[in-house]
Amino acid sequence: MPKFIKPFLLFTLLGIFFSDYFIPQVKNIDHKDRVIVTAKNISSTPQKAPQNVSVLDDSATKLEYKRLMQLFSDRNLSKAPIDEVLQTVSTKFLGTTYREGLLDQGETEKLFVSLIEFDCVLFVETVLAFSRNLLAIDPTYENFVENVQSVRYTDGKLDGYCSRLHYFSEWIRDNQKRNIVRDRTAELGGIPLNKTLNFMSSNWQKYPRLKNSEVNYQCISAMEKKMELEMKSEQLRYIPSAKIRSIYPLLKAGDIIAVTTDVKGLDATHTGFVYSTTNGIGFIHASPSGTVKISPDLQRYVERVDHAIGIMVVRPTVRISSK
């Protein structure tokens, strides 16, 4: 998935009753809300992971996981509705560092797991995976990691760079097929998004793993052609920016929002979650401005995003792992 689509996740408010932090206090909301998200080029130089980045086999990741699980241990979240779980988990990541290109480090595809910094897609994947783990019969670190892999890759299987769900509309389609999420865009009045998705193959020189691998380039090209065929039978849709506020009564905390774009060949440039506030519908996301934050009004935020034309809306399901 193009890195500028990617991106995010969790944790800051502690020591209060569940009902107290499900609806945030005003101090947690960024009222300036002036972030402009643009599609940036991926560096042609592979990045090295900084020492504080969590990876699958990093003991620091497990320690952070244990710390977070202890925070939730007395909250009885396993019996809470999924929208409350998603909002509670995402709230815990407020202020967490935003970092680009986390999934594109190194020359080969490896499962990357972080609880300390995110891009926007990583934030969504982590919050979703962590929440599903909390709702599992027997939540474990291994189950959490498996949930991350499940939502990130085609059919939940890591099989090289091309198996990652690079385009967010394909991420939605694949996860819906496995009953992890449900695309609600059409039922909310979404209109057709008439475009061919080929940004990656058309801009292959911006992606080191395409520039340096003919196999990856051919695989991505084939994946884009497959998506084009899928869209003939199941057309992509989006809700125009000016109509977002009209669907507020139909949104829930934890609904996943993908910001659609008019950038040629691309479906979305940013993602995050609906966030219920005392004043209405906000947006919690790993912001390119530097941290996980809450933008107080979803429509206003989208209208300020460079090249944005609207949103897709996806609702996580209550179906969870039996582990």
Domain borders along the chain are 18-43+52-316
Query: At 123, is the pLDDT very low, low, confident or very high (cuts 50, 70, 90)?
Result: very high
Cα–Cα dist 16/149, whole Å? 32
Residue 178 phi/psi, 5-degree rounding, is -100, 20
Burial class (CB in 10 A: 0-12, 13-18, 19+), 276: buried
Structure tokens at 193: 């998004």
In sequence order, the β-bridge partners of residue 287 are: none
Cα–Cα dist 211/203, whole Å? 9
156 compared with 7, residue with greater pLDDT:
156
Percentage of the chain exceeding pLDDT 90? 70
Q: What is the pLDDT of residue 323?
A: 44
Q: What is the pLDDT of residue 32?
A: 52
Mean predicted confidence (pLDDT) in 201-228: 95
Residues in the chain: 323
Q: How far is CA 207 from the centre of its chain?
A: 20
Query: At 39, is the pLDDT very low, low, confident or very high (cuts 50, 70, 90)?
Result: very low
Q: What is the pLDDT of residue 319?
A: 56
| pLDDT 10s digits, 164-208 | 999 999 999 999 999 999 999 999 999 999 999 999 999 999 999
Structure tokens at 52: 């504080």
137 compared with 222, residue with greater pLDDT:
222
DSSP-derived letter for residue 125 is H
Other Cβ atoms within 10 Å of 54 Cβ, number: 21
Q: What is the pTM of this model?
A: 0.83
Q: State the DSSP H helix or E strand holding residue 220, giving kind and residue range, or none if neither.
A: helix 214-233
Question: Is a pLDDT exceeding 50 seen at residue 46?
Answer: no
Bridge pairing between strands 308-316 and 256-261: antiparallel
Cα–Cα dist 9/161, whole Å? 23
Query: At 30, is the pLDDT very low, low, confident or very high (cuts 50, 70, 90)?
Result: low
Structure tokens at 279: 């004043």
Mean predicted confidence (pLDDT) in 197-224: 95
Question: Is a pLDDT exceeding 80 seen at residue 76?
Answer: no
Q: How far is CA 161 from CA 2, 152, 169, 213, in A?
A: 12, 11, 17, 10
- The class level of CATH for 18-43+52-316 reads mainly alpha
Cα–Cα dist 320/273, whole Å? 19
79 compared with 283, residue with greater pLDDT:
283
| pLDDT 10s digits, 232-273 | 888 999 999 999 999 999 999 999 999 999 999 999 999 999
DSSP-derived letter for residue 108 is S
Q: What is the pLDDT of residue 34?
A: 43
Q: What is the pLDDT of residue 3?
A: 42
In this predicted structure, which of 40-49, 142-151, 163-172 has the lowest mean pLDDT?
A: 40-49
Count of H helices and E strands in the chain?
Answer: 10, 10
Contact 13, 21 (CB under 8 A): yes
Residue 308 phi/psi, 5-degree rounding, is -75, 140
Query: At 79, is the pLDDT very low, low, confident or very high (cuts 50, 70, 90)?
Result: confident
Cα–Cα dist 201/210, whole Å? 8
Question: Is a pLDDT exceeding 80 seen at residue 10?
Answer: no
Q: How far is CA 308 from CA 70, 133, 197, 305, in A?
A: 39, 33, 16, 5
